[in-house]
Amino acid sequence: MVTSGHDRVRRPRGGSHGMARSAGVADRRVCRAAGPRAGSAASAPRARRRRRCRPRRRRADRGCELRRLRRRLRDAARERAARRTHRDRRRARAAPARQALVSADDVEVALEAVQVGGVTGAAGVGRVVADGEHARGLMNRRVLIGPIDPCGECDVCRHGGAAVCPHVRVRDALGARTTAAARWLVPLSDGLDLAVPAAAAVAGDVTAAYTLYARTGAAPRDPVVVVGATPISRFLIEILLAKGIAPAAVGSGGAWADWLRGKGVAVAGDRAALAAAFAERSLGTRPWRVICADPATVAAAVELAGPRAMLTVLAGRSPPPIAGDALGREVTVLGIAGPHPDLVVEAAAMCVKGEIDLAAGTTLAAGDPLRTRVCEIA
């Protein structure tokens, strides 16, 4: 007797009586649905045909599956190749910039504007286009970049001498691109937005002025004299006024004196006139704090520094000689080599608040001695 798989599946477990009855019911159902009863003479050719066809169909199915599998493998290989090509192209584009990075702490900056000239070195504003392994987080951000990258780790740096760090990296000029240590860059975002190209002066002349103020340690009611008619002097006057200090400045007329008077600053040409200006403001006869923002006018600043005065001098790249008689008057001389990179944030914040008029203090034109010249990089 021929028993179909269909019958075996449907046969219930249990006693022989129940099994026979159930099998009978199933057989009748199969007969009604599929034609001749299994095992009958009429069903034999059909069963033979089914046995002959089944292996062929299985072989055909296996062939289809293989073809589908091969197609899937081919598609996956093509996809992998396309992905690899795209990645290689991306790496090739990034390769020249990454090769320029000296250290994993560096980033590559594409400059948008730079400060031109100045006594403290190069400064600018630009966008980070490549980052080192340890300098993630600045990619594509606009940053302020100053003239130096101190190590930040040595004892000189730890004692506030970052500008004269023995391991400092100095940028005397900036091209279209430059490498810089990520830790000293100041990103312009999160409320610290400054217009380009004026922002190029912030990490340069503006921070140099702020460093002169911060290192002098001047407080309101201190008699402070500013010597030198430069863009740094201009920013310094604005900083002192914003900090509640009423400075006097050395001047004899012209645009510088006019600008000072417009700000309510006393202008005088000699020591006696300056003393009179301080007396007028009831600042007494305390030793002065003389800040020299122009290395070329150090001699005049030394003359003004009386007994026990404090003389702060912007030394720049070529420090001027200091007259020995200042030591005889016990003048405390403080040299400032350049803008301190830690103070860029404070200087930028004063520009954002409008305490420093950055737009008025910078210019694209050449030949203005009272404004910092900035230049856009195409």
| Residue ranges in contact with Zn ion by CB under 5 A | 150-151, 154, 157, 165
Q: Where are the beta strands (DSSP E) in the chain?
A: 106-116, 124-131, 142-145, 148-149, 169-170, 177-181, 186-187, 224-227, 248-250, 266-268, 289-292, 310-314, 332-336, 362-363, 372-376
Q: Give whole-number Cα distances, 56 to 62, 63, 210, in Å.
A: 10, 11, 91
- Least Å distance, CB 331 to Zn ion, is 28
Comparing CB distances to Zn ion, the nearer of 231 and 341 is: 341
Note whether 206 and 287 are within 8 A (CB): no
The secondary structure of residue 39, as a DSSP letter, is T
Comparing CB distances to Zn ion, the nearer of 223 and 339 is: 339
- Least Å distance, CB 202 to Zn ion, is 23
Strand partners, 312: 291, 334
Comparing CB distances to Zn ion, the nearer of 151 and 370 is: 151
- Least Å distance, CB 161 to Zn ion, is 8
- Alpha helices, DSSP H, located in 171-309: 207-216, 231-242, 254-262, 271-280, 298-304
Note whether 232 and 362 are within 8 A (CB): no
Comparing CB distances to Zn ion, the nearer of 154 and 375 is: 154
- Least Å distance, CB 103 to Zn ion, is 15
- Least Å distance, CB 129 to Zn ion, is 27
Q: Give whole-number Cα distances, 37 to 8, 9, 11, in Å.
A: 15, 17, 17
Residue nearest to Zn ion (CB): 165
- Least Å distance, CB 322 to Zn ion, is 25
Parallel, antiparallel, or unpaired for β 177-181 and 186-187?
A: unpaired
Parallel, antiparallel, or unpaired for β 362-363 and 332-336?
A: unpaired
Comparing CB distances to Zn ion, the nearer of 165 and 224 is: 165
Comparing CB distances to Zn ion, the nearer of 95 and 102 is: 102
Note whether 164 and 337 are within 8 A (CB): yes
- Least Å distance, CB 166 to Zn ion, is 6
Comparing CB distances to Zn ion, the nearer of 54 and 167 is: 167
